[in-house]
Amino acid sequence: MNMKFLLGLVLIFSGLLGCTRRAAIVYPKAPDGGQEVVSEGMKTLSRSISRYLGGFQIEDLTLAQPFRDYSVGPTNLAAGQLLSAAKPGEWHYPLMHGTNAVAAAELVADKEAGKPPKFAGLDTSNFSKETLEALRIAEQLPQIEKQDYEVRRLDCPPILFVAVWLHGRSDDIIIPLPNTFGRWKAYQPYSESQMIELLKPEASKKLKAPTDTLD
């Protein structure tokens, strides 16, 4: 077969393969050995925990890809700082039954501090289910077609704020989760500047209450 013809085929197929790569919602690199630590930790839990897992036993569930929690304090928010001030915390491994999230396993991992990953328990709130719903909505956003966005969780416990944070190279998308108490809209995508505008007065209000816990 003619070598020029073969080279042409290679270039055509290379181009086609390159075109199939779509921007997407992606997950951060998980801690080394994290899944094994979580799996072992879950084995130590009592079978009575099933009442907090929709009646399912631990062995009925599978671990989904993890993402990390980032927290910001009201002092930073009152100063107009949000994502730049967010500090990384625990990792969350959603526990899935089919396509439904019923809970999340928590892992503490700080590679920079030289500490091995440690199982930190289960989050049996509705957070995992709400996160999954936010990600389903995010998949339909036009921004997702233009670049990859990394899944993160963002919160400020003193003002009862929690959201899915989609971190991209050129911008960020913040999707608040319930309950919002009417202060902003659940599952609506916001830019960082829009979210700061909503969070800043809430943080300032909290800082004026010295008897409350601010951390």
- 179 within a domain of the structure (yes/no): yes
Give 206-211 contacts, CB < 8 A, sequence gap 24+. Answer: 206/74, 206/158, 206/159, 207/74, 207/75, 207/78
Per the structure, the complete domain to which residue 53 belongs is given by 25-207
Q: Does a structural domain hold residue 212?
A: no
In a domain, 2, yes or no: no
In the chain, where does DSSP find H-type helix? 3-19, 34-43, 74-78, 127-138, 192-207
Residue 214 confidence (pLDDT): 52
Could you tell me which residues come within 8 angstroms of residue 156 by beta carbon, excluding any fewer than 6 positions away?
Answer: 71, 72, 73, 74, 77, 199, 203
Total domains in the chain come to: 1
* 8 located within any domain: no
In this prediction, residue 108 carries a pLDDT of 96
Whole-number pLDDT of residue 113: 64
Separation CA 86–CA 89 (nearest Å): 9
Per-residue pLDDT of the chain (215 residues; tens, 9 = 90+): 444 433 333 333 334 344 455 679 999 999 999 999 999 999 888 878 888 888 898 889 999 999 999 999 999 999 999 999 999 999 999 999 999 999 999 999 877 667 789 999 999 999 999 999 999 999 999 999 999 999 999 999 999 999 999 999 999 999 999 999 999 999 999 999 999 999 999 999 999 986 645 55
Compute CA 168 distance to the chain's CA centroid, rounded to the nearest angstrom. 13
- Report the pLDDT value the prediction gives residue 49, as an integer from 0 to 100: 87
**Neighbouring residues of 112: CB distance < 8 A, sequence distance ≥ 6:** none
Q: Do the domain assignments include residue 7? A: no
User: Could you give the CA distance from residue 138 to residue 136 in angstroms, rounded to a whole number?
Assistant: 5
